[in-house]
Amino acid sequence: MPLITINGKKIKASENVTILEVARGNAIFIPTLCHNDGLTPYGGCRLCVVEVVKNGKTTVEASCTYPIEEGLTIKTNTARIRKARQVIIGLLLNRGPKPLVIQDLASEYGVTGPLTRFSVENEHCIRCGLCVQACREIVQARAICFAGMGFERKVTTPFNESSLDCIGCGTCELICPTKYIDMKDLPEAQEVTPSDHQIIGPVRNFDTWNTEFKVRVCNECGNPFYSAQPLKKFQESQNLQSGFFDVCPSCRIPPHVDEDLCLGCGGCVVNCPIGAILMKEKGEEQKPTIYRENCTGCHYCVDMCVVGAITIENRE
């Protein structure tokens, strides 16, 4: 285990981790815009710069990509580092002063405005690449990518056209730190977008990606809850019963346990992906209870019950 020093504190770090991971594990805050624990470090925003002293030499490095080595001394909040971050935040303000996350950073680091020698672009996208990475690594759809080089670099769908690979999951919208990606769920309304494109609901529309999807509407509450296309794909691949996605997760009733049939073997308790089923005593035997507040309605327990004691109740 490499022994390192961060801000004067001696820390035993694990093998094969980065400075950022060790710092966060020890409650030392380093700001970053392009890092997500679930994704490969990319080093795009450079906000996470720190001073690294190695063999007597001090360098400024991006902590999210710098691997831990024995004997490193790291300083995360020196005057030099604060100055470097102020310049980066200034440049981000030049790119676009509107995103809240940039404004918060500016006020924290005392940056009053964009750098005067560059013009202000009013862009929301800071080209951190989180959406591209999430689409590739988490969703594995590869529906969006970087295009162009240098100042022209931007995130888009291939050839700026509606991507056939997009499944409309909305992960890009969720992960975007500046809320640049415009995702709208339109229940029934008709809407005309600035590009004169007419949308007739219920659809999920990504104006940023020139893409829209028909949305499944919950039979119970009437709210749109997911793009129909991935649901259909998922229903087929997981062999779910027909009508599984007729209701949204919040309206889904937890399955019902027939205690007379149930053997009390605990298969459902063990198999429930999120641990929503607990055992309760019933005389000499034990029977499962499904806690509604935790149940996601995935119905895996229904598939895994060996006697068919767990069933989906009819909605009357």
Partner 1 sequence: MFDYDVIVVGCGPTGLMATSELKAREVNVLGIDMKTRLDKNFRSASGFFFDDQEFNGECIRLEPKGDKTRIHYEKCGFSLDYPAPMEAIHNSYMVSNSGKNYQITSRNKPLYHIFNPTTWLSARYHNAKELGASFLTRTLVIKTKEIPGGVEVIFRKDGRKGKLTCKKLIASDGLQSRITRELGFNRNRGVIGIGPTIEYEMVGVECPLPRGDLFIFGEKNLGQKTGQIFMVPSPRGKDAYRIETATTPPAIKNYQVIEYFTKESSLAWWFKKASVVEKSGAVVELFTPIKVPHRGNIILVGDTAAFGEVLYQGATMCGYMAAVAVEKELRGHKGFDEYTQWWNSTFEWNIDPKKMSEYSKRFLFTRYMGADTMDYLFDIAAKQPLIADDARANVYDFAKTVIDHLLSFPEVRPDVAKKLRFMREADIGLMVAELAKEAQALKK
Q: How far is the CB of 5 from partner 1 (least distance, A)?
A: 17
Q: Which is nearer to partner 1, 91 or 302 (CB)?
A: 302
Helix (H, G, I), strand (E, B) or coil at 71: coil
How many Å apart are CA 265 and CA 305, to the nearest integer? 9
Q: How far is the CB of 287 from partner 1 (least distance, A)?
A: 9
Give residues in contact with partner 1 (CB under 8 A): 263-267, 269-271, 274-275, 277-281, 284, 286, 289, 291, 293-294, 303-308
Q: Within its chain, how far is the Cα of 106 from the centroid?
A: 24
Q: Which is nearer to partner 1, 127 or 256 (CB)?
A: 256
Residues recorded for the chain: 316
Q: Which is nearer to partner 1, 17 or 304 (CB)?
A: 304
Q: Which is nearer to partner 1, 60 or 304 (CB)?
A: 304
Residues pairing with 279 in the sheet? 288
Q: Count CB-CB contacts under 10 A for residue 175.
A: 18
Q: Which is nearer to partner 1, 92 or 269 (CB)?
A: 269
Going by DSSP bridges, is the β-strand pair 3-6/73-75 parallel, antiparallel, or unpaired? parallel
Q: How far is the CB of 291 from partner 1 (least distance, A)?
A: 5
Q: Count CB-CB contacts under 10 A for residue 44.
A: 20
Q: How far is the CB of 282 from partner 1 (least distance, A)?
A: 8
Q: How far is the CB of 254 from partner 1 (least distance, A)?
A: 12
Distances (CA, A) of 233 to 161, 201, 227, 228, 245: 22, 21, 11, 9, 11
